[in-house]
Amino acid sequence: MLRFIIRRLLITIPTIFVVITLTWGLIRLAPGNFYSGEKKIPKSIEHNIREKYGLNKPWYVQYGRTMSHIVRLDFGTSLKYEGQSVNAIIVRSLPVSAGIGFLAYLLALSVGVFIGSVAALKQNSAWDYLSMALAMIGISIPNFVLGPLLVLGLSLNLYWFPPARWSGLISRGIVLPVLTLSAIYMAYIARLTRAGMLEVLRSDYIRTARSKGLSEKAVVIRHALRGGIMPVVSFTGPALALLLTGTVVVERIFALPGLGNYFIQASLNRDEPLILGIVAFISITLLLMNLLVDIAYAYLDPRIRY
Amino acid sequence: MRFWRVNFRLTFPLINRLLRKTMAGRYYRQILAALVLVSVAVGSISCRAMASNEEFFGRIAPAPGNVLRYITGDEPESLDPQKTTGLPEARILMALYEGLVEYDPKTMDPIPALAERWDENNDSSEFTFHIRKNARWSNGDPINANDIVWSFRRSLAPETLARGASLGFYIKYAQGYNSGAVFVHDPQTDKFLLESGFAPASEVPPPLSERPVAPASEYKPTEKEKVPDADTPFHQFMHSPTRLTLPGDEKSRNKLLAQDPKLQAAVAGKEFVKIAGKDIGVEAVDDYIVRISLSQSAPFFKGLLANQFFRLVPKKAFEQYKELWAQPGHIMTCGPFRLKEWKPYNILTVERDPMYWDAASVHLDEIQFFPTADLPTALNLYKVGEVDALYNHAVLNAWVDFVRGKKDWMDAPEAVTIYININTTKPPMDDLRVRKAFDLAIDKETWIKWRKITKPLPGITPYGIFHGYPLPQGSKFDAEKARQLLAEAGYAVTKKGDGSYQCPKFPVNQVEYLFPTATSNKIMAEYMQAQWKQNLGITVPVRAMEFKTFVDARSKLDYKGFSFGAWSADYLDPFTFLSLYYTNENDNSTGWWDKKYVDMLNEANRTPDQAKRYELMSKAENYMLESQPIIPVETGAVNWLKKPYVKGMYPNAGSLFAWKFVYIERDSAKWDYSTPSTAD
C-alpha cells in the first residue's frame, strides 16, 4: 500500500511538469499581452514593461526562470493585479470555491445516493421512473441555464435569495449557487448509485445475507450500499477536485470571488503567473483526489489490493 | 382549455393509481400538499411579476444608512492612479484621489479641486495653478505645490511604467523624460544643442511658452488677481528654444545619427545628458503655485488634468513602501473618500475622509464598489435592489427594449464614436474611390433606427457632445454613386438577371471585416456585410477575434480591408478624437497620416477664441474625412440605470462621477422621475 502511494506520488511530478509546460506554451501562442488594451501605450513604456518582466529574453530563459520559481512553489506576482502574489490569490479564493464546491457535493451525494437507492430498490416503479426522469433533466440542463432560471424564480420574483455576490459561507447568498452547482452531480450520482445498487442487489453475497435472515435494512445499508456506491466513489475523485477548485460558469453567474472566476479572468488578461499557478494548483488537486479515490477503493472493496 | 380539462380528468386517476401502488402511496396526501404548494408558489411568481412596479426597473428601496452601492465593472487592476487606464478604476480612483481639477458632474468641464483657480496664458501653452491651502492627505499631512510637482514627475518617470503616460506628453520635455531620451550638451560652451537647427523648418511661430518670458502681455488681463510676476531660472529655461532630444538607447540613437550626417557631425565630441524629472515643465513657483509649461498650445489641457493619470499620489507612502504603496494598509489618499476595505472580486468600500478639505460637503458616508463584469448578474442585482446604480453599457442589447421605457433608465449621448477603420496601405483599399464607394454603400440611417439608442455620426467627433462645434456634413447613402465610383476604380458592378448586383472583378479575397468578439459587434459586422452585398454585389467575409488578439492585429495593420473601431474621449474636447490621426505612429490603425492635417490642428489649438478654434478644427476634420481612412457609423449613447433616490449623479458624456456631489434622497417627492438633465 505504502509503495503504491509513493509510486503514484512520483508519477504526479512529471505529469504536473508536462501540464505546466503545455500551458506555458499555449500562453506564448496567444497574441496580445497583459498590458495591451484598447488604447495604445507609448513604445518606450512597452519596452520598459517588457524589460521589467523579462519578456524580451529568449524563450528558454523565460521558461527556465518560470520553472525554477514553480519548483520552489513560488508562482510569483500577478501581472495584472499589481502587487498581489499568486499564492495569496489562491489562498484567498480557494475557501470560496472549496466551500461552495464541498457543500454542493455534500448535497449531491446525500440526495443522489438516496434517490438512486430508492430507485434501485423500487426498480421499474413510478418512483424509479420519476427519479430517473429527474436525473435525466438534471444531466441535460447545463448550469448556465439552471442558474439563471433559479435566479429568475427564487430571486427576481420571490426575493427569497440574493441573485449574486458573496457574503460568506453561512449566508442566504450561497443557496442558489450551491443548488445550481449540485444539480448535475446529484443527477449523475443518482444514476450511478442506481446502476451500482442494481448490480449488487442481484449478487450472491446479498442473497447469502438475505438467506441468513438479516433484516432488509441491514442488507441494504450495510451490505448492498457499500458495494453499490463503488461507481460513485470513483466519480467522486475528479468531481470533487473540479468542484473544490472552482467552477467557472457558476462563479461567473453568481459573481463569486473564487478560483474559477480568477482563472477565466487571468486567461483573458494574459496574466501568465496567475494562469500557471491556478493550472498547477488544479492539476495537483486533481491528481491527489484520484489517489485518495484509489485508496478509498481498497478500503471499500475487499477484492482490491495494491 | 378544453384539451387540458379532458387530459386532466383522464390522467389524474391514472396518477392516483400509480401512486397508490408504490411506496409513495403512503405519502399520497403529503405529495398532494406539495403539489398544491408548488402551484401556489408558481402562481405567486406570476402574480408578483405582474404586480411589479412598472414605473421603475425592479425594487426601489434605499439601503439603510448613507451608502451608495455601485457596480463599476471589472475588478480594479490597482489603486495606484498611474498604473491603470480603465474606466472601472477611474471611477474608484475619483473617490480616493483628487487632481488639480475635477470633472463637473454634469458637463465634465474642469472645476476646482486641489487647485482653487488657475490662469491660462494667451495661447494656452502655459497654465498657473493656485493650490488651496487647506488640502490634506488622508493621514493629515498638508498638500503643497512640491507634492504636486513630485507626483507629476513620478507619473512620467520611465520606471513608473504608466501605460497612460502619453496623456502627459503635452508637458514640455515629458515625452523625452518618459522615453529615457537625452539632451546633447557641449562641454566646451556649456550649452545644449537646440532642436531648431535640425528639425525641418516650420513657418509657424513656436508657442508662447517657448518664447522669451513676457508675463505682463502673455496672460489674459481679465484675471481677478494679477498673475505673480515670478520669473525663475526654471521659467527662463522653459521659455528658451526647445533643446534637441535624441533616443537614450544607444542602438536607436546610432541608427538615427547614421541617417543624418549633419546631426552626426554636430553631435560629435558632445556629451549626452539624460533628461531628468526636474527638466519637465512642471514647477513649484512657491508653496502654493504650480506652473505647467507645455510644448504646444493645448487649451484642452486643463480638462485633461482630471484624468486618473494626473491625480495626486503621495511621496511619503511611496518612499516607505515603494511599489506596494497602494496596497490596503499602506495607501494614502487625498480625495473625498478613503479606503475602508478591499476584498478583490467581491467588494471595495470607501468611506468619507474627515481629512478631506471639503469633507463637510461630502454627502455619502460610504460607497461600495462591486466588481461585477457579467451583465445579466449586474442587472439582476440592480433589479432586486441590492445595488443603486450600474456602470455605463450595463444594459444588455436584448433588454434595452424593455428597460428603456423605465424612468430610471439614463438616456443621453456619450463621448464615444463607433466607426470602421480602413487599412489604407493595402490594395484595393489604397484607392480613395474604393474607400468612398464602401462608405456610400451603407445605409447608416436604417442602422441607427434599428439600434434605437445610438445617435448619428457624420465624422469622427461625436454628435451632440461639443456644443458650438460645427460637425461635418457627413456622407449621404448613395448606392448608385458608390457603384459608379467602383466602376471608375476598375471594378465594374453589373446587374444580374434577378435584379441583384455583382462585382466580379473585385478581389474579395483581399478584404475582410475584422471585429472583436461580442454580440453587438457581430450584428454590426453582419449589417455592413449585407449592405455591401446588396448595394455593391460584394460579399466581404467577416471574422471575429478575441479582444486582445484583435487589438494586436489592428494596431499592426495586420488586417486587410476593414476593422471595427471605437474611441472614447480622454477629455471633453474634439481634439481627443481628432488627435487619433495626429501622430505618425499609427495610433489610428488605418495607416493614414498627413502633415497638412497636423498643421491645421496646431493652428486651431493656438487660437484662443473657442468658436474660431472649433471652426478650424472642423475644417481639419473635413480634410481628414476627404481621404476616408474611416467609415463613420454612429455616436454612442449612455445606457445604464440609477435608482430614482440616487441624486447628484448625471448621465454625463464620459460616465465619470464626482462622488462628493452624490447623495441618497429619502423624500420620494424629490426623486428623479426621468433622466436628469446634464445642461448647466
> Which residues 245-264 of A have a C-beta within 8 angstroms of B?
252-257, 261-262
In this structure, the strands spanning B413-422 and B409-410 are unpaired
Any chain B CB within 8 A of the CB of A114? no
pLDDT in tens, A81-108: 888 899 999 999 999 998 999 999 999 9
Gap between the terminal Cα atoms of chain B: 59
H/E stretch holding B513:
strand B512-516
Give the cell for residue B545: 477575434
pLDDT in tens, A218-263: 888 888 888 888 888 888 877 887 787 768 889 988 999 999 888 9
Which residue in B75, B158, B346 is closest to A166 by CB distance?
Answer: B346
Interface contact flag, B21 A165, Cβ < 8 Å? no
Which residue in B169, B345, B566 is closest to A261 by CB distance?
Answer: B345
H/E stretch holding B419:
strand B413-422
ipTM of the complex, rounded to two decimals? 0.86
CA distance B2 to chain A (A): 27
Which residue in A30, A38, A257 is closest to B344 by CB distance?
Answer: A257
pLDDT in tens, B632-646: 999 999 989 999 999
> Which residues 148-207 of A have a C-beta within 8 angstroms of B?
148, 151, 153, 155-159, 162-166
* Packed helices B432-440 and B519-536: angle between N→C axes, nearest 10 degrees: 110
3-state secondary structure of B131: strand
Q: Which residues of B touch A155 (CB under 8 A)?
A: 380, 384
Q: Residue A280: what residue type?
A: A
B513 within 8 A of B529, measured Cβ to Cβ? yes
Interface contact flag, B384 A122, Cβ < 8 Å? no
Q: Which residues of B touch A166 (CB under 8 A)?
A: 346
Beta-sheet strands, E only, within B466-508: 494-495, 501-502
Interface contact flag, B77 A257, Cβ < 8 Å? no
Nearest CA in chain B to A254: B377
Interface contact flag, A41 B164, Cβ < 8 Å? yes
Give the cell for residue A237: 475523485
Any chain A CB within 8 A of the CB of B252? no
Contacts of A199 by beta carbon, 8 Å cutoff, 6+ apart: A228
In this structure, the strands spanning B67-71 and B366-370 are parallel
Any chain B CB within 8 A of the CB of A15? no
B564 within 8 A of B516, measured Cβ to Cβ? yes
Residues of chain B with pLDDT under 70: 1-53, 200-204, 214-217, 220-229, 584-587, 680
Give the best residue of B327, B345, B589 to mutate against chain A (max A CB count within 10 A): B345
Q: Which residue has the cell 452601492?
A: B69
B69 within 8 A of B349, measured Cβ to Cβ? no
Per-residue DSSP letters for B9-41? HHHHHHHHHHHHHSGGGGGHHHHHHHHHHHHHH
Give the best residue of B161, B321, B323, B563 to mutate against chain A (max A CB count within 10 A): B161
Query: In angstroms, rounded to a whole number, what is the distance separating the alpha carbons of residues B205 and B123?
Result: 11
Q: What is the pLDDT of residue B24?
A: 46
Q: What pTM value is reported for the model?
A: 0.84
The confidence band for A131, taking pLDDT boundaries of 50, 70 and 90, is confident
Find the DSSP H helices in B322-396: 375-383
Interface contact flag, A41 B166, Cβ < 8 Å? yes
B237 within 8 A of B144, measured Cβ to Cβ? no
Give the cell for residue B86: 480603465
The confidence band for A300, taking pLDDT boundaries of 50, 70 and 90, is confident
Q: Which residues of B touch A56 (CB under 8 A)?
A: none
Q: Which residues of B touch A163 (CB under 8 A)?
A: 377, 380-381, 383-384, 386
Query: In angstroms, rounded to a whole number, what is the distance separating the alpha carbons of residues B212 and B208?
Result: 8
> Which residues 391-410 of B have a C-beta within 8 angstroms of A?
none
Interface contact flag, A83 B346, Cβ < 8 Å? no
Q: Which residues of A touch B23 (CB under 8 A)?
A: 118, 122, 125, 127
H/E stretch holding B192:
strand B191-192
> Which residues 90-109 of A have a C-beta within 8 angstroms of B?
92-93
